[in-house]
């Protein structure tokens, strides 16, 4: 079953269906850009947060922004590469979208998986993650994968040679598993987080960390376990973005029966103060999330 047919069969609102289908087309343009000699992976600038920015980050950002402006399917656009919210003139719909155009781009030059993360709000983007009407990510690997929720389960599609996303897995539920993907340096761990990591290791969890948030969470979704990029010494508030990374991925994992937390509370319940807000992230199976919240509450 192709994506368009699936969305229609699921009773997805026509405007939301049109937007999701449009975003799936833009993701294919992003994937094609990996092969363009005019966007070599080794060229770097810096984004608005002072972070290294590959040429392909800029390329992917332009694909999504320019496409959405031209199509006028949303009112608000916020991306990790921009320092302000873009408001589209005379939009057809009132949606707001948040986008990490190319997650893990530093891995392109070594040919590892990268991805795009997108959240869709019914209106303005500075709202709690639980209000997302849809969340999706694209994983550009040996296969191009679209994983999607519209609040009615989590479903996975694979891109075929004709340019159609074909249903691959329906109603995915995160299983019990013993994989952990830990960001930050061990020497900088805060005490509660360090105790939690020690517990996972003593319980036989295997470390799997690629440096691409999408790829790591995708593996957790299918195999169980937990991804974390915690607060740490010098960055106690965390590193990953609440809007562009935590909320969309957290929405997907939540709909698959998992959870997302900042170590103390459900991230999807947090109302953002700004588009660049960062947060510690623990996302995966509920048991591991409950355990870190227990350790954090104990101090």
Alpha helices in the chain (DSSP H): 3-9, 14-33, 55-71, 191-202, 213-223, 247-255, 286-298
- The residue ranges of every structural domain in the chain are 3-169, 179-298
pLDDT, position 36: 56
For the stretch 69-86, pLDDT in tens is: 999 999 999 999 999 999
Percent of the chain with pLDDT over 70: 93
DSSP structural state of residue 27: H
CA-CA distance, 239 to 17, in Å (whole number)? Answer: 32
CATH code: domain 3-169 is: 3.30.540.10
pLDDT surpasses 90 at 49: no
pLDDT surpasses 60 at 37: no
CA-CA distance, 78 to 83, in Å (whole number)? Answer: 8
Mean pLDDT in residue range 138-147: 96
pLDDT, position 147: 98
Beta strand 206-207 pairing with 179-182: parallel
For the stretch 17-28, pLDDT in tens is: 999 999 999 999
pLDDT, position 110: 81
For the stretch 267-299, pLDDT in tens is: 999 999 999 999 999 999 999 999 999 999 997
pLDDT, position 103: 95
Which strand ranges, in their side-by-side order, compose the sheet holding 154-159? 86-87, 76-79, 96-103, 114-121, 134-140, 144-149, 154-159, 165-169
pLDDT surpasses 60 at 42: no
pLDDT, position 109: 78
Topology, domain 179-298: D-Maltodextrin-Binding Protein; domain 2 (3.40.190)
Nearest to 244 by CA among 153, 135, 171: 135
CA-CA distance, 95 to 125, in Å (whole number)? Answer: 9
Q: Tell me the pLDDT band of 34, cut-offs 50, 70 and 90.
A: confident
| Positive or negative: CA dihedral 91, 130, 175, 191 | positive
Cβ contact 219:264 at 8 Å: no
Mean pLDDT in residue range 31-59: 61
């Amino acid at each position: 079953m192709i994506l368009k047919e699936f969305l229609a069969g699921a009773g997805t609102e026509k405007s939301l269906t049109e937007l999701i289908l449009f975003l799936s087309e833009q993701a294919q343009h992003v994937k094609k850009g990996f092969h363009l000699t005019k966007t070599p992976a080794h060229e770097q600038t810096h984004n608005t947060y002072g972070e290294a920015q590959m040429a392909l980050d800029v390329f992917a950002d332009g694909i999504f922004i320019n496409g959405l402006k031209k199509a006028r399917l949303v009112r608000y656009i916020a991306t990790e590469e921009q320092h302000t919210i873009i408001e589209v003139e005379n939009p057809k719909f009132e949606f707001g979208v948040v986008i990490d155009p190319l997650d893990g781009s530093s891995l392109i030059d070594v040919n590892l998986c990268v991805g795009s993360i997108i959240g869709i709000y019914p209106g303005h983007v500075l709202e709690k993650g639980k209000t997302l009407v849809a969340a999706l990510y694209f994983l550009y690997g040996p296969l191009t994968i679209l994983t999607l929720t519209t609040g009615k389960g989590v479903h996975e599609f694979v891109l075929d040679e004709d340019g159609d996303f074909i249903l691959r897995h329906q109603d995915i539920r995160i299983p019990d598993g013993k994989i952990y993907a830990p960001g930050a340096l061990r020497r900088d761990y805060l005490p509660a987080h360090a105790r939690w990591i020690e517990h996972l290791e003593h319980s036989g969890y295997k470390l799997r960390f690629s440096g691409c948030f999408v790829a790591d969470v995708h593996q957790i979704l299918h195999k169980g376990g937990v991804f974390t990029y915690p607060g740490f010494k010098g960055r106690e508030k965390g590193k990953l973005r609440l809007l562009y990374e935590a909320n969309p991925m957290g929405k997907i994992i939540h709909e698959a029966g998992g959870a997302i937390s900042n170590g103390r509370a459900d991230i999807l319940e947090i109302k953002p103060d700004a588009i660049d807000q960062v947060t510690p992230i623990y996302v995966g199976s509920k048991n591991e999330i409950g355990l870190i919240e227990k350790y954090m509450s104990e101090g």
